[in-house]
């Protein structure tokens, strides 16, 4: 029976390209891709403690990693098994008399009803699409508007959505899309009111008070017609759900031409139309991760916008989690007479963004590099901060990761004489292996870099607090109710670094109505003793890990990073011509408040609290 389960589970999933060299421990990855070498080991141990046999028929250099992977896979397979068994139990428990009673469960009728509902939903999509086209035509005084750029993606979404629904394998996300509609043509006003920060938190479906917040954004709003008519898009991300992404373009009635660079896709069974170009990024290290979350949107006037995000492009990340989004101003095309080096901002965003894109060394990226070189970035008021895999030396030593942040802060951050009292706040959704104590990696790399400021005199290191959800936070969250999770910290890692607990603080976001929306956002800052000011703020895809931020060699001549990451740095002098951002409203100041994603003062872990670990889901 278990072998039948294994075959059923594997049949609907793409083989992991790393095969027996896979290092991943993320449940999402194991739910999307097949790992026959691991499935063979675990399939007969689904309800018992895991043991690793002496003869495993593949090379294993780290049995501890193997055990972690088997633990996660055991959890995924048990969840898959339970879903299937519940479905079978419902059908088996319906006796012949009940099957004739329309007031009782009728499995066939339920399935037929779902198919009908699916067709109804697609009709609604078409009606919504037609309404959006009519609205666009009337708002622009256009008598005849072509639907040629809308219909292909509508047909594509219709096909893949129905195909995925009709498959007999495990349910696919694309068959359960919930539609969040916003009034088209209105986001430009909300965007203008977000000046000068242009920093948003994502819409939370189950927290109604977030729906009307001026700093809330949904994916359809990123594509809103009020920002321009889209002709092409570039999406750089970790995980992408093609069907869900296409649905967003359908609802926005925008052109679906797009290039996608990502680590993996949620729906690999989907056949892509010619106007979607998908590139799966191969990492130089099996332990590295393509974790950046960037979009570039091109408009009909050849202008562009840049989106820096903490969210993957799949529905779970945009429904009930806390994510951070920065959306650039419209960046117009430079005159033909301009040099490609023209049009940068005082923060040199353009220079470092192009430097990042060129590291892919992919022909599909060339047109985007050219487009960005021809764009005017002078209105951008933040710094681009990225990580790229490799051992960086010489001229590139300070180009990436925490060393890049250190350079930015050393040149531009201004702190008062009591800077050592300005606590460092680290907030993330996962924690890597940080070493046996605070001084091992965290202090000499992260704290040292994030303590820098323009004044060069010696200052003692600030206190450091880490905001990461406790087990209690997770149990009370929206994710817990649906059995989903975006917090892959492992029990094994935490057992090795229990020293971390004294730095840990709860996830609380009552002021933003997001306490129950688990944080997939990653942010870093320092805060004044009275909790009213910050000297800088980082929004990034980078979790607190060596892979994301890098490790500087003791010799100081090299900096090793394993991941692709991307983020931005807000420095007050480039945005509000001050030395700090206000984070509390003041009657004496007209400067807009910079909104932090969490509550202040922080809530420290109690002795009985433990950090959430992904192993909890397998219990």
Q: Is the same domain home to 463 and 322?
A: no
Beta bridge partners of 33: 14
- State the pairing for strand pair 423-427/230-240: unpaired
**pLDDT attached to residue 319:** 95
Residue from 370, 232, 357 nearest 298 by CA: 232
Beta bridge partners of 523: 427, 539
CA distance 266 to 479: 18
- Residue 356 is assigned to a structural domain of this protein: no
Q: Is the same domain home to 72 and 133?
A: no
Looking at 29, 235, 291, 402, which residue is catalytic?
Answer: 291
CA distance 470 to 604: 10
Average pLDDT over the chain, rounded to an integer: 85
Confidence of residue 10 (pLDDT cuts 50, 70, 90): low
CA distance 342 to 355: 15
CA distance 221 to 165: 27
CA distance 553 to 123: 59
Residue from 185, 423, 436, 217 nearest 308 by CA: 217
Would you say residue 113 has pLDDT above 70?
A: no
CA distance 266 to 246: 13
Which of 38-47, 137-146, 152-161, 561-570 has maximum average pLDDT? 561-570
- Mark which of 273, 300, 327 sits at the end of a domain: 327
Q: Once rounded to an integer, what is the mean pLDDT over residues 544-565?
A: 97
CA distance 211 to 202: 9
**pLDDT attached to residue 269:** 76
Query: Within 10 A of 502 (CB to CB), how many other CB atoms are there?
Result: 11
Which tokens is 149 given? Answer: 């750029």
| Helices 107-139, 242-252: inter-axial angle, 10-degree rounding | 40
In the block, tokens 């939903």 appear at 121
Would you say residue 258 has pLDDT above 60?
A: yes
- State the pairing for strand pair 294-299/304-309: antiparallel
C-alpha gyration radius of the chain: 25
Q: Is the same domain home to 299 and 444?
A: no
Residue from 242, 284, 282, 283 nearest 259 by CA: 242
Which tokens is 197 given? Answer: 């920060």
Q: Is the same domain home to 123 and 23?
A: no
- Residue 66 is assigned to a structural domain of this protein: yes
In the block, tokens 């300005």 appear at 422
- Mark which of 275, 305, 327 sits at the end of a domain: 327
- Mean pLDDT lowest among 14-28, 261-275, 320-334, 517-531: 14-28
121 is in an annotated binding site: no
* Host domain of residue 72: 2-96
Residues in contact with 99: Cβ distance below 8 Å, sequence separation at least 6, in sequence order: 106
Q: Is the same domain home to 440 and 560?
A: yes
328 compared with 54, residue with greater pLDDT: 328
472 is in an annotated binding site: no
Which of 51-55, 141-145, 418-422 has maximum average pLDDT? 418-422
**pLDDT tens readout for residues 30-46:** 777 789 998 889 888 88
- Residue 419 is assigned to a structural domain of this protein: yes
- Residue 304 is assigned to a structural domain of this protein: yes
Q: Is the same domain home to 122 and 84?
A: no
**pLDDT tens readout for residues 192-234:** 999 999 999 999 999 999 999 999 999 999 999 999 999 999 9
**pLDDT tens readout for residues 151-182:** 444 455 444 443 433 333 333 344 455 666 56
CA distance 424 to 135: 49
In the block, tokens 């969490």 appear at 598
Looking at 290, 412, 520, 559, which residue is catalytic?
Answer: 520
- Residue 472 is assigned to a structural domain of this protein: yes
Which tokens is 415 given? Answer: 């702190």
DSSP string across 539-577 = EES--BSHHHH-EE-TTSSEEEE-SBEEEEEE-HHHHTS
- Residue 598 is assigned to a structural domain of this protein: yes
Q: Is the same domain home to 544 and 427?
A: yes
Q: Is the same domain home to 86 and 121?
A: no
**pLDDT attached to residue 325:** 99
Q: What is the CATH number of the domain that holds 524?
A: 3.30.870.10
Helices (H), 392-434: 401-412
- Mean pLDDT lowest among 155-169, 275-289, 543-557: 155-169
Judge whether 391 and 559 are in contact, CB under 8 Å: yes
C-alpha separations of 446 from 380, 451, 548, 552 in Å: 26, 8, 11, 10
- Residue 18 is assigned to a structural domain of this protein: yes
**pLDDT attached to residue 2:** 60
- State the pairing for strand pair 464-467/581-582: unpaired
DSSP conformation class of 431: B
Query: Within 10 A of 464 (CB to CB), how many other CB atoms are there?
Result: 18
SS3 617: helix
Q: Once rounded to an integer, what is the mean pLDDT over residues 461-476?
A: 98
Q: Is the same domain home to 143 and 204?
A: yes
- Give the DSSP H or E segment for 263: strand 258-265
Asked about 520 being catalytic, the answer comes back as yes
Judge whether 140 and 146 are in contact, CB under 8 Å: no
C-alpha separations of 387 from 25, 291, 520 in Å: 21, 9, 18
Judge whether 201 and 322 are in contact, CB under 8 Å: yes
SS3 465: strand
Q: Once rounded to an integer, what is the mean pLDDT over residues 125-149?
A: 46
Asked about 494 being catalytic, the answer comes back as no
Q: Is the same domain home to 451 and 573?
A: yes
Q: Once rounded to an integer, what is the mean pLDDT over residues 511-524?
A: 98
C-alpha separations of 199 from 180, 387, 497, 577 in Å: 21, 21, 34, 18
Q: Is the same domain home to 523 and 451?
A: yes
Number of domains in the chain: 3
- Residue 475 is assigned to a structural domain of this protein: yes
CA distance 381 to 158: 41
Would you say residue 595 has pLDDT above 80?
A: yes
- Mark which of 327, 355, 371 sits at the end of a domain: 327
Q: Is the same domain home to 598 and 502?
A: yes
Angle 359-549-18 from CA coordinates, rounded to 5°:
60
C-alpha separations of 603 from 461, 536, 549, 600, 609 in Å: 22, 22, 26, 8, 11
């Amino acid at each position: 029976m278990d072998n039948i389960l294994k075959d059923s589970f594997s049949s609907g999933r793409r083989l992991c390209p790393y095969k027996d060299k896979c290092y991943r421990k993320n449940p999402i990855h194991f739910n999307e891709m097949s790992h026959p070498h691991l499935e063979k080991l675990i399939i007969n141990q689904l309800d018992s403690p895991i043991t690793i046999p002496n003869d495993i028929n593949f090379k294993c250099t780290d049995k501890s990693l193997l055990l972690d992977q088997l633990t996660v896979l055991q959890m995924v397979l048990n969840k898959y098994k339970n879903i299937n068994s519940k479905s079978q139990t419902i059908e088996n428990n319906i006796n012949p008399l009940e099957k004739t009673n329309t007031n009782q469960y009728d499995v066939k009728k339920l399935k037929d009803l779902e198919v009908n509902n699916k067709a109804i939903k697609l009709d609604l999509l078409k009606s919504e699409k037609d309404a959006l086209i009519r609205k666009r035509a009337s708002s622009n005084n256009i008598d005849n508007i072509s639907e040629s750029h809308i219909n292909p993606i509508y047909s594509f979404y219709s096909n893949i959505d129905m195909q995925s629904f009709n498959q007999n394998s495990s349910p696919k996300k694309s068959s359960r899309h919930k539609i969040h509609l916003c009034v088209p043509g209105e986001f430009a006003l909300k965007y203008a009111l977000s000046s000068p920060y242009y920093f948003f938190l994502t819409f939370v479906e189950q927290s109604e008070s977030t729906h009307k917040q001026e700093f809330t954004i949904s994916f359809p709003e990123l594509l809103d017609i009020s920002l321009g008519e889209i002709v092409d898009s570039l999406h750089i991300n970790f995980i992408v759900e093609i069907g869900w992404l296409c649905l967003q373009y359908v609802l926005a009635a925008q052109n679906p031409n797009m290039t996608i660079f990502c680590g993996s896709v949620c729906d690999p069974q989907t056949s892509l139309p010619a106007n979607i170009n998908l590139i799966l990024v191969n990492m130089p290290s099996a332990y590295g991760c393509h974790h950046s979350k960037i979009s570039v949107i091109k408009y009909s006037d050849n202008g562009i916008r840049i989106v820096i995000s903490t969210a993957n492009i799949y529905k779970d990340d945009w429904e009930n989690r806390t994510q951070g989004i920065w959306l650039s101003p419209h960046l117009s095309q430079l005159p033909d007479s301009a040099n490609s080096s023209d049009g940068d901002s005082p923060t040199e965003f353009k220079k470092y963004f192009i430097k990042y894109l060129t590291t892919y060394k992919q022909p599909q990226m060339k047109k985007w590099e050219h487009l960005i070189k021809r764009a005017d970035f002078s209105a951008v008021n933040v710094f681009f901060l990225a990580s790229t895999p490799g051992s960086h030396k010489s001229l590139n030593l300070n180009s990436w990761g925490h060393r890049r942040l250190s350079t930015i802060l050393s040149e531009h951050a201004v702190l008062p004489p009591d800077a050592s009292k300005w606590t460092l706040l680290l907030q993330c959704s996962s924690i890597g292996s940080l070493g046996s104590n605070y001084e091992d990696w965290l202090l000499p790399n992260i704290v040292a870099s994030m303590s820098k400021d323009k004044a060069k005199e010696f200052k003692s290191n600030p206190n450091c607090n880490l905001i990461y959800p406790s087990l209690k936070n997770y149990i009370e969250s929206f994710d817990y109710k649906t059995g989903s999770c975006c917090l892959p910290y492992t029990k094994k890692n935490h057992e090795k670094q229990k020293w971390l607990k004294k730095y840990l603080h709860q996830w609380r976001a009552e002021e933003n109505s997001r306490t129950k929306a688990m944080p997939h956002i990653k942010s870093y800052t320092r805060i004044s003793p009275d909790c009213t000011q910050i000297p800088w703020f980082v929004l990034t895809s980078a979790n607190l890990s060596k892979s994301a931020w890098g490790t500087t060699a003791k010799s100081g001549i090299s900096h090793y990073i394993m991941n692709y990451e991307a983020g931005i740095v807000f420095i007050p002098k480039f945005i509000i011509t001050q030395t700090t951002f206000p984070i509390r409203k003041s009657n004496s100041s007209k400067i807009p408040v910079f909104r932090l994603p969490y509550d202040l003062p922080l809530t420290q872990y109690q002795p009985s609290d433990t950090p959430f670990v992904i192993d909890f889901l397998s219990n």
